[in-house]
Amino acid sequence: MFKGSMVAMVTPFKGGRLDVPALRDHAAFLLENGSSALVPIGTTGESPTLTSEERAEVLRVAIKAAKGKAPVVAGTGTNDTCTTIDHTRAAEELGADAVLVVTPYYNKPSQEGLFRHFEAVAASTKLPVCLYNVPGRTSVNLLPETVARLSKIRTIAAIKEASGAVDQASRIRELCDIVVVSGDDALTLAMMEKGATGVISVAANVIPRAIADLCAAAAAGDAKKARGLHDRYLPLMEALFLETNPVPVKAALRLMGRGTGEVRLPLWAMSESNEAKLRRVLADFALTYPPGKRSGSGSRPRASAR
């Protein structure tokens, strides 16, 4: 289940509301272009700003689109164990195939606290659990030794490793046989060379076929093809992080004619200078619509509250 190009899906908004038709279209676009799994309501999906009703609707749309084609891995993690368990049970009831659970943010738990948190979540579900380690957002690092302890729990199946340290992923692989996937597009090739099985990708929202091909080449041991795709698309991967994710990826989709680009407060629209940089990179790949121009009315979207 946890292999290849798994897309950390954006959540489309229009006028402050969930844009369900755009969500359906985006899910179809990703699946038609080789994505091996859909990962909705995670960080890229702006999950902290979604209501319970919106979370359920996003998940229903993703599950319906992916049925018979690819698994759906629902983001269910929060910084409260009880709420995470509630989200996880809801995802299981709706028909998700697995859950992605981020380390609790802001609380800054100890390694023992992290272990107990994930242990409790895993005990609450029959679904495979993918741990999610992203210290840059959470201020805590799930250490390899703790991952090794957690890997002994039956329902804990994988880890999305986004610490930015390839050696940490290597250490995890030394200590246990848990599946490791990259949480950073720019490190996907390096991680797969160390045994990762794929990536939960932001860039795949924009270039799903390219990321799918990169993962397939790396998995097949075609180093030349994988390196060529990595080198070619690295400037775009980097441009998608000029500002906080998912602001740039939503701007990119708008420039491609694939959405409004709208984000929810406290996120805000991309700065004009950074959008100009992003537009130039997209133009290099002939991804803007029309080439070199903004889609729609040309006005830059404003962030909104619900």
Q: Using an 8 Å Cβ cutoff, are 3 and 254 in contact?
A: no
Residues 6+ away with beta carbon under 8 Å from 149: 115
Residues 6+ away with beta carbon under 8 Å from 86: none
Q: Looking at the predicted structure, is the pLDDT value of residue 19 above 70?
A: yes
Q: What is the DSSP string of 287-302?
A: -SSSTTS-STTSPPPP
Per-residue pLDDT, 294: 42
253: confidence class by pLDDT, cuts 50, 70, 90: very high
299: confidence class by pLDDT, cuts 50, 70, 90: low
Burial of 72-85, coded b for 16+ CB within 10 Å and e otherwise, reads: bbbbbbbbebeebb
State in words which class domain 4-221 has. alpha beta
pLDDT in tens, 87-127: 999 999 999 999 999 999 999 999 999 999 999 999 999 99
Of all residues in the chain, the percent with pLDDT exceeding 90 is 93
Q: Looking at the predicted structure, is the pLDDT value of residue 233 above 70?
A: yes
Q: Using an 8 Å Cβ cutoff, are 180 and 173 in contact?
A: yes
Residues 6+ away with beta carbon under 8 Å from 69: 31
Q: Using an 8 Å Cβ cutoff, are 45 and 77 in contact?
A: no
Domain borders along the chain are 4-221
Per-residue pLDDT, 305: 73
Q: Which residues are identified as catalytic?
A: 132, 160
